[in-house]
A and B are shown apart, each in its own frame.
Chain A
Amino acid sequence: MIHSLFLINCSGDIFLEKHWKSVVSQSVCDYFFEAQEKAVDVENVPPVISTPHHYLISIYRDKIFFVSVIQTEVPPLFVIEFLHRVADTFQDYFGECSETSIKDNVVIVYELLEEMLDNGFPLATESNILKELIKPPTILRSVVNSITGSSNVGDTLPTGQLSNIPWRRAGVKYTNNEAYFDVIEEIDAIIDKSGSTVFAEIQGVIDSCIKLSGMPDLSLSFMNPRLLDDVSFHPCIRFKRWESERVLSFIPPDGNFRLISYRVSSQNLVAIPVYVKHMISFKENSSSGRFDVTIGPKQNMGKTVEGVVMTVHMPKAVLNMNLTSTQGNYTFDPVTKVLTWDIGKITPQKLPNLKGIVNLQSGAPKPEENPSLNIQFKIQQLAISAKTQTWMEGR
């Protein structure tokens, strides 16, 4: 099981360590640093590293490495999932998961870690329960505490922990009962030169914020549940009901949580809401080339496409680029050869365009003419999978 945890920042300082069994010396992290050095890029550090006596399983989140030390055969996914849960909890408690916020709240962090894992076995990882055991820091509370001398640590057994619904605390009361659901869909698509889709899938999640009193029992149904290729549920969802009726029926935890995540893959046609016109060419035996890219919206039911950013990994032979854009700013990093174009909102009347001259290294062979364009964008209030929930019923 999980032996120890080290938190390491990008510059390689171990700024927190926690041991659940015997103490493992910090020097075990040297193997990690070695791997980090080899990987060059922080994102490329392999997640599982073996050392002569231990195994290091690490995740990289918010510029912090969470490195756990294990000694026996343990499912690595279990460790990785747990580490992500730790990072989520920090995020939840302190608003952000950063070195400063962790250092600012080191005692709470320590208490949390102690509560989350016992002898390497996860104990309480649900935020509802943790919050009952250890109250999150707020300015008001710290003022009250310093006056009254009371503490952040709850002294009663969290009610939810042993019931059949360990995720919800009992005795919740709100004056305004509200429930919000955010449907966030991400399209992941690869489109070839001619504009046809090579691969596209939608990763969707429904994040909920439930503020309801008592023990609410909710059900949520979809217009077209058959579209979903695969779903992962929060433990609160009754699986049987979904299997038989395709209805999400659940007693929600209190507060924010991810209700389900789902995947809609390319078998169901995914309409990509933007298109790209591109003209990138390099002349044979000359040290220049042309670059001309236009981005436009496709059918998107009158919604605007926002936050558009295009990044292009240009071929190695490219020295510099002289471009003009009709909208937004562009930067070209001559070291990494990455062109970034921050466009912002697309207005259908005036399509953003970026064109100009590419300077190549003289004498280099003609580079490949199809660098991959990576385009990110956001559309508010549009569910691409056309699956939107229709009705919700609560008791």
Chain B
Amino acid sequence: MTDSKYFTTTKKGEIFELKAELNSDKKEKKKEAVKKVIASMTVGKDVSALFPDVVNCMQTDNLELKKLVYLYLMNYAKSQPDMAIMAVNTFVKDCEDPNPLIRALAVRTMGCIRVDKITEYLCEPLRKCLKDEDPYVRKTAAVCVAKLHDINAQLVEDQGFLDTLKDLISDSNPMVVANAVAALSEIAESHPSSNLLDLNPQSINKLLTALNECTEWGQIFILDCLANYMPKDDREAQSICERVTPRLSHANSAVVLSAVKVLMKFMEMLSKDLDYYGTLLKKLAPPLVTLLSAEPELQYVALRNINLIVQKRPEILKHEMKVFFVKYNDPIYVKLEKLDIMIRLASQANIAQVLAELKEYATEVDVDFVRKAVRAIGRCAIKVEQSAERCVSTLLDLIQTKVNYVVQEAIVVIKDIFRKYPNKYESVIATLCENLDSLDEPEARAAMIWIVGEYAERIDNADELLESFLEGFHDESTQVQLQLLTAIVKLFLKKPTETQELVQQVLSLATQDSDNPDLRDRGYIYWRLLSTDPVAAKEVVLAEKPLISEETDLIEPTLLDELICYIGTLASVYHKPPSAFVEGSRGVVHKSLPPRTGSSESAESPDTAPSGVQAPEQPAVIPTQGDLLGDLLNLDLGPPVSGPPMATSSVQMGAVDLLGGGLDSLMGGGGSGGGSFAAPSTAAPANLAAPLGSGLGDLFDLTGGVGTLPGSYVAPKTVWLPAMKAKGLEISGTFSRQVGSISMDLVLTNKALQVMSDFAIQFNRNSFGLAPAAPLQVHAPLAPNQSVEISLPLNTVGSVMKMDPLNNLQVAVKNNIDVFYFSTLYPLHILFVEDGKMERQMFLATWKDIPNENEAQFQIKDCSLNADAISSKLQGSNIFTIAKRNVEGQDMLYQSLKLTNGIWVLAELRIQPSNPSFTLSLKCRAPEVAPYVFQAYETVLKN
């Protein structure tokens, strides 16, 4: 009597037969039939045709039958939404059942039926169950909120379930707390902006209490949630660490790793002199080592994480080298990871052991592993200077084995060793040369050719060796061709007499017979160098090379810090931030390690990108690509996505735009309507449009100004991206605003020796949603020492993220060479819109309405303009004077302006005729913009 019998009926009338059985009167037969249906379902057979018959079996006292029907419903309700409604009544009834098991089962199953129509009926029972007296029902209901949110997020918010869920965090039952946390975390993931998990010391305390008492899975959720908390000082961090430490001894490795994450993160806040810091370091090592004795899959994930931990805090595992020794029966993915960590931990103290191990590995069977082992020996040599000699002799031993791929790998790493320790191990060159013929991989061939060229003076038959490569020049890969070209030129410079023929041959091969532009260019350069100035050629080609760095594959520090916050997650397995690979993660908030206490940096805005803080007015190259990378990754996809070019202005300028646009097209004669960006032709309408738009009544106020209005002030261009930092591309630029359209005026200068093309530009999310409205158009490739002026139209419909400082803009520019990142500050006045004039009454009311705390006062010094000049000057930058009053000899100007995102700023400017400094009071509902508005005032007035 086993269930396998359910699988045996596969003949044609199966469905029909089941139907008859389901409608049978006998309970027993019904149950058997439902079991058969479930069995077919598990193997992916379509039994949805039986839906009505199965649902009919739902009203039963038999719990097993009920469960089976529920199973069926969950699977097929989506395909039969109308039928699923039939089941609703039973669910609602079951939610009132005296047995908590049935109540929970009903609410659980309802959440799994992913049919919109049903969700409406679900709300009431769910609300009841969230407040149920039985914790089992409550914890099930908590998860149900997450399910419902997945189906219909709006409904969950409207019904207030999120608040109820937040209340459950303080529930008395730890299981309920854990499930509420889990549900909230899941909802928060799809809703990154919401402050669902707003943790404070009280709720942290509750979580820590629940942590001790809930199940292992609950502990994982709670620990992951704790890791997002930012303790306010080191004392708090330490007390959390103390309470989390016992989790390191849990049997569930996921709990252990989540605890490690919390500790690694909060340790950042502890001072290193603290005794506790040392204790914590000691406590972290044993559990990490223990993870390595678990199943191989667990080991793999653990090793990927240990790789990060070792880079961040090598001191934790520095004595544990031996546990990373490879076992012969480890799966290959574990072996490769262990090897990686061995190299990271290699030091003078343990290098002998490591080398002995690596040598063993190099005789293993698996080719990939052997290659990596040989490479590892080379990396050891570069990392630990004292061991270099040993490593080289080990490599020579390996070369003697004559195993093809071992020899090739060995030669590649020996090349690196030569780069690190020049003039030390050249005696081995003879041995290397013996193996010349067996090299068939491009990388090894290129490495060997490099060696021959570099040490041509010591190799008697260097010319013969290189000549032998030259025979098949066209069949070689580019890498080898380039290397061969350089090597022969080096040889020529060292032994000019015998090799003239050879060098001519290679130059002509490279320049005349090759299709590869890189090769051709390099050939021409050498040719010209050699023909014009051999001395200079010598200086260039035989210049001393910089030593190569020790650790070439370390993860870049800011990325590492971010990844430490993701220990235990997929991000840690891929060593990429989640934004780089998780689908639909546009809104993923970058996590960062907490700042060490005592540093002056405040932690008030931990969510903003950590790299963006620069001194004002300074062009800055963003040194790290880590956090930008995620947002800018789609750069390669082509021109940035942009809305219609005038979208912003047409929304926010209303009538002004219509007039402006109309005039524009009249004057320009073209049908371009509002879309024309051509600056010269719009200059006149700019002056006309503004007064027209602000109403005829006010026209006279401005008569004095019209003639002199220069349009919005445009700052001179400054260098944003120096050529040094961008492989020869220099970018300078400024921002301007004309007739409601913002543009970024750029000058791209090519200071490299290479033609640049394929330009593209992209902005990171920023405070006001600035984004390119059109692709960056550079029509011809940019030749060396040429520059091009471009005006890039911008709009403000991009995605918004608050930056610090507010007007910071991070930009990525791509060309055929690379992607470069820089950040710049834009003056706020480019965001002041043309309809920023408020009605007088409105102004008064708003001024009173904004609380006094939001008022900010600034001094504008050394400005010798009178009130009228000021008001006309400001008008040009869309700061409108609403009223002017004279109080006790002082001129008071009341002004208003509006930002592209609809924020109004009201200003009162006090001018004393005798005093060159003015007092500016700003009132705004969003007080953080005030300093930037002040800067804009100052810029406009002083220029």
Contact = CB atoms under 8 A, between A and B. Distances in A.
Interface in A51-76: 53, 55, 57-60, 71-76
B195 interface: no
Residue in B68, B290, B297, B331 whose Cβ sees the most chain A Cβ within 10 Å: B297
B254 A78 contact: yes
Given A18-B42, A162-B135, A260-B251, 20 more contacts: A16-B43, A21-B112, A39-B332, A47-B333, A48-B301, A58-B297, A60-B297, A72-B189, A76-B301, A76-B573, A77-B253, A104-B2, A105-B2, A118-B143, A151-B63, A190-B327, A198-B325, A198-B353, A199-B323, A365-B401
A16 B325 CA distance: 38
A74 B570 contact: yes
A52 to B, nearest CB: 8
Contacts of A18: 42
Interface in B110-147: 111-112, 114, 134-136, 140, 143-144, 146-147
A23 B111 CA distance: 15
A328 B663 CA distance: 103
A101 to B, nearest CB: 9
B5 to A, nearest CB: 9
A325 interface: no
B269 to A, nearest CB: 23
B75 A23 contact: yes
Interface in B392-414: 401-402
Contacts of A17: 42-44
Interface in B634-653: none
Interface stretch (A232-240, A285-293, A351-359): A232-240
Contacts of B20: none
A269 B1 CA distance: 54
A46 B300 contact: yes
A157 B99 contact: yes
Nearest to A76: B301
A265 B401 CA distance: 35
Given A59-B295, A73-B569, A155 B99 contact: yes
A230 B3 CA distance: 44
Interface string B66-85: 01100100010010000000
Across chains A and B, which 4 residue pairs bring their CB atoms closest together, nearest first? Answer: A230-B286, A151-B64, A104-B2, A47-B297
A119 B3 contact: no
A256 interface: no
B300 A239 contact: no
B217 A263 contact: no
A185 interface: no
B200 interface: no
A361 interface: no
B578 interface: yes
Given A114-B71, A157-B100, A199 B220 contact: no
B328 A230 contact: no
Nearest to A366: B401
A8 B402 CA distance: 42
B570 A146 contact: no
A43 B331 contact: yes
Nearest to B363: A368
A104 B4 contact: yes
A98 to B, nearest CB: 12
B16 interface: no
B101 A155 contact: yes
Interface string B140-174: 10011011001000000000000000000000010
Contact of A84 (B75, B183, B295, B332): B295
A111 to B, nearest CB: 6
Contact of B578 (A1, A71, A73): A73
B928 interface: no
Contact of B189 (A14, A73, A164): A73
A104 B3 contact: yes
Nearest to B41: A110
Contacts of A80: 253-254, 295, 297-298, 301
Given A104-B2, A110-B38, A114-B67, A313 B43 contact: no
A195 interface: no
B44 A265 contact: no
B258 interface: yes
Given A21-B150, A44-B332, A261 B251 contact: yes
Contacts of B68: 107, 111
B286 A229 contact: yes
A76 B569 contact: yes
Interface size class on chain B is 35 or more
Interface string A315-331: 01000000000000000
B296 A107 contact: no
A76 B570 contact: yes
Interface in A219-243: 229-235, 239-240, 242-243
Nearest to A153: B64
Nearest to B286: A230
Nearest to A80: B297
A232 B250 contact: yes
A173 to B, nearest CB: 23
Interface in A88-115: 100, 103-111, 114
Nearest to A266: B322
Interface string A355-388: 0000000000100100010100000000000000
B250 A235 contact: yes
Given A107-B38, A151-B63, A199-B322, A365 B402 contact: yes
Given A155-B99, A161-B136, A77 B175 contact: no
B252 interface: yes
A27 B111 CA distance: 26
Contacts of A50: 574, 581
A218 to B, nearest CB: 17
A223 B515 CA distance: 78
Contacts of A266: 322
A302 to B, nearest CB: 29
B286 A162 contact: no
B902 interface: no
B213 interface: yes
21 contacts: A16-B43, A17-B42, A21-B112, A50-B574, A50-B581, A53-B583, A73-B566, A73-B569, A73-B570, A73-B571, A75-B254, A107-B35, A114-B71, A125-B216, A151-B63, A161-B175, A162-B135, A233-B249, A235-B251, A372-B360, A374-B329
Given A16-B42, A162-B135, A265 B252 contact: no
A34 to B, nearest CB: 15
B582 interface: yes
A60 B331 CA distance: 12
B179 interface: yes
A121 B249 contact: no
Contacts of A234: 251
Contacts of B44: 14, 17, 26
A50 B907 CA distance: 55
A146 B215 contact: no
B876 interface: no
Residue in A57, A121, A156 whose Cβ sees the most chain B Cβ within 10 Å: A121
Nearest to B333: A46
Contacts of A60: 297
Residue in B71, B189, B252 whose Cβ sees the most chain A Cβ within 10 Å: B252
B140 A118 contact: yes
Interface string B16-56: 00000000000110010001001100111000000000000
B439 interface: no
Contacts of B516: none
Interface string B324-347: 010111011100000000000000
Contacts of A263: 286, 289-290, 293
Interface string A190-216: 100000001101010000000000000
A109 B300 CA distance: 28
Residue in A41, A58, A154, A231 whose Cβ sees the most chain B Cβ within 10 Å: A231
Contacts of B250: 232-233, 235
A273 interface: no
